Amino acid sequence: MYKFTPINDGMDCDTKEIYEVKQDRYGNTTWSAKYPDDVEDAAENKETARYAILTIFQPGCILYKQIWGRDSAVKFAYDVPINDEKKGHLYRVYCQMVNLDGEKFGFDLVHCDISEFAELFKRGKLFEQYRGYNFRYYKSFAIGEDPGFGCPTKVTVDSRINIDTRAYGKFNPNKVSSLKALDHKKASEIVDLESDYEKDEFELYKDEPEHLIICSPLLKGYALKEKLWLEFLVDVPTDIVWSNSTFQSLVLPPSTKELIHAIATSQISNSSKFDDVISGKGKGIIFLLSGSPGIGKPLTAESVAEQMRIPLYMLLAGDLGTESKDVESTLRSVLQMVTSWNAVLLLDECDVFLEALTSNSLERNKIVSIFFRTFEYYEEILFMTTNRHLDKNAREKIWRNFLSRGEDQEHDHQITDVEIGKLADSNINGRQINNVLKTAKLLASHEGELLKLEHVRTVMSVEGNKARMHIHVSNGLVPA
């Protein structure tokens, strides 16, 4: 069974097998393989050359193909080897089909191009290399699903993508099927999506070279900008060209940029440290960016992801839905994806989640409660943006306590009682103080020092006037 590339005028050639038409005495028409032995022999011969196509496609035989998604049959006429500048060596098969010129019926000539097996081997090697998770750039069409009709459709993609077959199957269980093991010795086994990629040591080229030419031309994954699960052409993804200047171009004080970079870097390299009292809680880092529109709040999150060479998942608060059940389902799915990809999550325009709870809006209160509860166990980096400046009451309930717990060296500090007294004079509440200390610990860890008063003051100073962005950093969220 062969699958070929698109042919002229948008016609897709999907040649399956050679057929001949048979009609019984009742007028019923059936198609059957015309040269089954030749087809089988040629398919098994690894040295089949381009000229051997005549053995498979006998002149006058009927071939099956699709034209604009419609099943069609054509009659094989002749063949020509060609050399295309873009596609390389091809084998062009010309076929006849009945058409109408307005007055009479007659034969029209159509063709399809068959790539040499060398290209199929090359594509198969690419397919093999994309086993597991890969972060790439993609610019072409991909295959998605029409939400209205449930049929495959082309989707234009120009963004970074996560190639991740396991995640695709997890979030789209109805679009994947169980696979029979390639190893003949384990033919009765089923390849499970939950099996570790690392445990699969089967190499297509080493163990079964012919498997390379029959590899799927599609890779399953997620387009970050389009926010769609899609199937991508295997030979299109390219390495990402990272921008080294994006972070440096942020219009922020140098100390602020250094603080953000230090915290983010420490979060990645020291993910197991500074855990909360309850195991698994408080491991994440949350940046709350507040200020007027147009001052670069989303750009800050993008720059951090760019600097750290990891994906950025951008989500508008409105994308979560308006009902509590939708918010919880969407949020949990997003957090699962972001965690598995070690990505930075940007939640833009999240004002609704930062407002105080009220007695006259129970559904909104429920949504806010779900939001904060879900993020308690989030372990990655989250950027939240709001166009409002935080009032004292809102700021009070964002920060957490980190200084007083832990007597081991990892949590030790060099802040004296006198210095703690001076810090207590600042117009911030206890939760703010504790979270400032938590952030200051990360900064001290990045610099390879014990926590000092200077680290705390650096964190507390990262707050500008109304024309600048205000940055608040915490390890968790507490509803107002």
What CATH number is associated with residue 261? 3.40.50
What is the pLDDT at residue 234?
Answer: 95
Domain of residue 159: give its range. 122-233
1 part of a folded domain: no
Instruction: Identify the helix (H) or strand (E) that includes residue 153.
Output: strand 152-164
Return the SS3 of 259. helix
Are 179 and 314 part of one and the same domain? no
Q: Which has the higher per-residue pLDDT, 46 or 289?
A: 289
Q: What CA–CA distance (Å, rounded) separates 402 from 182?
A: 52
Same domain, 424 and 446: yes
- Point out the least confidently predicted range of 382-386, 419-423, 444-448: 419-423
| Any domain includes 191 | yes
pLDDT of residue 459: 82
- Which residue, 80, 115, 150, sits at the end of a domain? 115
pLDDT at 343 > cutoff 90: yes
Q: 73-87, 95-109, 125-139, 449-463: which range is least confident on average?
A: 449-463
Residue 64 lies in a domain: yes
For residue 10 the two structure tokens come to 């948008």
- On the CB side of 342, CA atoms within 13 Å amount to 12
Confidence label for 13 from pLDDT (cuts 50, 70 and 90): very low
pLDDT in tens, 54-88: 556 778 888 887 777 788 899 999 888 888 777 77
**Alpha-carbon distance 9 to 131, whole Å?**
34
Domain termination residue (choose one: 115, 131, 165): 115
The identity of residue 378, as a single letter, is Y
413 against 230, higher pLDDT: 230
- Whether residues 103 and 147 share a domain: the answer is no
- Residue 136's Cβ-count burial label (10 Å; 0-12, 13-18, 19+) is middle
Closest CA to 280 of 268, 272, 288: 272
Q: What is the pLDDT of residue 407?
A: 46
Select the more confidently predicted residue: 470 or 226. Answer: 226
Residue 83 included in any domain: yes
If 0-12 CB within 10 Å is exposed, 13-18 middle and 19+ buried, where does residue 179 land? exposed
- Among the candidates 115, 132, 153, a domain finishes at 115
The answer to whether residues 110 and 126 belong to one domain is no
Q: Name the pTM for this structure.
A: 0.61
160 and 132 both lie in a single domain: yes
| Residue-wise pLDDT tens digits, 227-281 | 999 999 999 999 999 987 878 777 677 888 888 888 777 766 654 444 554 445 5
The phi, psi pair for 450, rounded to 5°, reads -75, 155
Taking the CB of residue 201, how many other CB atoms lie within 10 A of it? 7
Q: What is the share, in percent, of the chain residues with pLDDT greater than 90?
A: 19
Q: Is residue 128 situated within a structural domain?
A: yes
Quick one: 409 and 273 in the same domain?
yes
pLDDT at 386: 82
138 confidence band (pLDDT: 50, 70, 90): very high
Residues 128, 109 share a domain = no
Task: Quote the pLDDT of residue 426.
Answer: 65
Helix axes 254-269, 453-460, angle to 10 degrees: 110
**Residues 469, 23: Cα–Cα separation, whole Å:** 78
Band of residue 1 on the pLDDT scale cut at 50, 70, 90: very low
pLDDT class of 316 with cuts at 50, 70, 90: confident
244 inside domain: no
- The pLDDT score that the predictor gives to residue 319 is 85
Are 383 and 449 found together in one domain? yes
Average pLDDT of span 292-296: 65
The rounded mean pLDDT for the chain is: 73
pLDDT on residue 159: 96
Residue 408 and residue 314 in one domain: yes
Predicted confidence at residue 46, as pLDDT, reads: 38
| Residue ranges of E strands in 62-131 | 62-67, 70-84, 88-100, 105-115
The answer to whether position 480 is within a domain reads no
Q: Is 457 exposed, middle or buried (0-12, 13-18, 19+ CB in 10 A)?
A: middle
Q: Do residues 223 and 265 both lie within one domain?
A: no
Tell me the pLDDT band of 184, cut-offs 50, 70 and 90. Answer: low
Same domain, 402 and 297: yes
Instruction: Please tell me the total count of domains within the chain.
Output: 3
